[in-house]
Amino acid sequence: MDIRTLVHTWIAGELVGRDEFGNRYYRGRRARLHGRERRWVLFNGKTEASKVPPEWHAWLHHTTDAPLTEFAADSRPWQKEHLPNLTGTTAAYRPAGHDLKGGHRARATGDYEPWTPE
């Protein structure tokens, strides 16, 4: 987090809420930008946009006017837990045949014939 962002948040920001990842969401106290209030997030840890849950994403992008209640943020039984983007980490998805999973995959079946140069 940049020190200028932190100082601006102390001066011009009003805390709206926090999510389960510890991210803090703010709205501007004063001036509006193009008729809309300013909204921003201070991330807990590394700045990664995919760490914003869908409920707060809707508020940040002015899809909803009011911050969501705890009831709205509660997950439904059919919902999966929100995960940030895992690309570049050891938990990233790697399909069968990926070099980091051994580099071997099942042989192709059916009418597939690989091209070989002459």
Where are the chain's structural domains?
Answer: 3-73+83-99
Confidence bin at 43 (pLDDT 50/70/90) = very high
Whole-structure pTM value: 0.65
* Chain center to CA of 48: 6
| pLDDT at position 64 | 83
Whole-number Å distance between alpha carbons of 109 and 118: 23
The two tokens of residue 66 are 């009011």
> For residue range 56-95, what is the model confidence (pLDDT) as tens digits?
888 999 888 877 766 666 677 888 877 788 888 888 888 8
In this predicted structure, the answer to whether residue 26 has a pLDDT above a threshold of 90 is: yes
Using an 8 Å Cβ cutoff, are 74 and 82 in contact?
no
Strand-pair category, 39-42 with 13-18:
unpaired
